Amino acid sequence: MKDYNFAYLDEQTKRMIRRALLKALAVPGYQVPFASREMPMPYGWGTGGVQVTAACLTPGDRLKVIDQGADDTTNAVSIRRFFQRTANVEVTERTAEATVIQTRHRIPEVPLTEGQILVYQVPIPEPLRFLEPRETETRKMHELEEYGLMHVKLYEDIARHGEIATSYAYPVKVEGRYVMDPSPIPKFDNPRLGGNPAIQLFGAGREARIYALPPYSEVVSLDFEDHPFVASKADHCCDLCGSGRSYLDEVITDDQGSRMFVCSDTDYCASRQAEGHRGRLSPERVA
């Protein structure tokens, strides 16, 4: 691909994004505006994440792309191919081997390490947006740390459902200062946001915002004293690898409504199976 600059974006654009990233890392949880570019994919397909990844990639990187934890879904496959073609970087499905991981809606099960970069695709970066539609007002609320409204949202949840029913994109407070939308990851993943050795970068293409969590940031999920935050998941074990600790997808397997629960993180599940772990519906058991 000689027709494109390395990783598709021109160097000036990447510099602009890197400056935004540095500011975002310097002010954890703060949404930095950036001049989001048109990318050769529709909004909602990860244009923010792709721009951040492009600005981070070096020729020596090894890239992993996941969508809802899976390496083999359309979105993950096309973004991985995009960078294979435009940056010619190595790719991998192994979390531990990747230097840069672009993700949609999950944090990998395998703990990340120092030196890794996790890039999140973000649809709506503003956690206050659902209750306060005015951008000028939400900016002012961040500026003055007026976050009462965030708890109104949680209050409404409990009033309506008897518990905090928000199960993804669960709001957090970063380093005791900014309230942040962690992107639509399940709240099961929230505890991994804080104290994480990896760099976590968030890119929202349509909304033109970048924010970040530097390694080992303090991240607290908002809650009430009498309704504390719980990182919940389906009360099952993986039917393929038998893990009782991973986040699960529910899969309908036939027209009679039979279901199975499988790890949403395909690499984690495959690795466990390779190590000999088995679940309720592992092929050899069923057969």
Partner 1 sequence: MGAGELGIFGKMMPQPLLSVHGLTKRYGARIGCADVSFDLWPGEVLGIVGESGSGKSTLLSCLAGHQRPDLGRIAYDGADVLTLSEAERRRLLRSDWAYVHQNPRDGLRMGVSAGGNVGERLMAVGARNYGAIRDTATDWLGRVEIAAERIDDRPSAFSGGMQQRLQIARNLVTGPRLVFMDEPTGGLDVSVQARLLDLLRGLVRDLGLSVVIVTHDLAVVRLLADRLMVMKSGRVVETGLTDQVLDDPQHAYTQLLVSSVLQV
Could you tell me the two tokens for 230? 């719980």
Count of residues interacting with partner 1 (CB under 8 A): 17
23/227 with CB nearer partner 1: 227
7/164 with CB nearer partner 1: 164
What's the number of CA atoms in the CB half-sphere (13 Å) around residue 25? Answer: 16
- Contacting residues for 187 by C-beta, under 8 A, at least 6 apart: 166, 167, 168, 170, 221, 229, 230, 231, 232
**Residue 148 lies near partner 1 (rule: CB under 8 A):** yes
**CB burial class (10 A; 0-12, 13-18, 19+) of residue 159?**
exposed
The residues that are catalytic are 29, 238, 241, 263, 269
90/146 with CB nearer partner 1: 146
Instruction: Please identify which residue in 1, 22, 131, 234 interacts with partner 1, judged by CB under 8 A.
Output: 131
- Taking the complex as a whole, how short is the minimal distance between the CB of residue 141 and partner 1, in angstroms? 9
Q: Which stretch binds partner 1 (CB under 8 A): 139-147, 173-181, 193-201, 271-279?
A: 139-147
Please, which of residues 255-274 interact with partner 1 by CB under 8 A?
A: none
Q: How far is CA 197 from CA 106, 168, 192, in A?
A: 17, 22, 10
What's the number of CA atoms in the CB half-sphere (13 Å) around residue 96? Answer: 4
- Taking the complex as a whole, how short is the minimal distance between the CB of residue 235 and partner 1, in angstroms? 24
In the shown chain, the binding pattern of residues 150 to 189 toward partner 1, with x for contact by CB under 8 A and - for none, equals: -xx--xx-xxx-----------------------------
149/260 with CB nearer partner 1: 149
Contact 107, 64 (CB under 8 A): no
Could you tell me the two tokens for 77? 């496959």
Nearest Cα to 239, choosing from 258, 209, 263, 204?
Answer: 263
Question: 231 φ, ψ to 5°?
Answer: -85, 85
43/147 with CB nearer partner 1: 147
Q: Which stretch binds partner 1 (CB under 8 A): 111-119, 149-157, 240-248, 262-270?
A: 149-157
- Contacting residues for 133 by C-beta, under 8 A, at least 6 apart: none
- Taking the complex as a whole, how short is the minimal distance between the CB of residue 26 and partner 1, in angstroms? 22
- Taking the complex as a whole, how short is the minimal distance between the CB of residue 143 and partner 1, in angstroms? 8
**Residue 224 lies near partner 1 (rule: CB under 8 A):** yes
Instruction: Please identify which residue in 77, 91, 94, 146 interacts with partner 1, judged by CB under 8 A.
Output: 146
Instruction: Please identify which residue in 16, 91, 149, 220 interacts with partner 1, judged by CB under 8 A.
Output: 149
216/224 with CB nearer partner 1: 224
Identity of residue 176: G
Instruction: Please identify which residue in 225, 254, 255, 284 interacts with partner 1, judged by CB under 8 A.
Output: 225
Identity of residue 83: F
Sheet of 32-33, strands arranged across: 32-33, 209-213, 199-204, 117-121, 100-104, 62-67, 90-91
Residues near partner 1 (CB under 8 A): 131, 140, 144, 146, 148-149, 151-152, 155-156, 158-160, 224-227
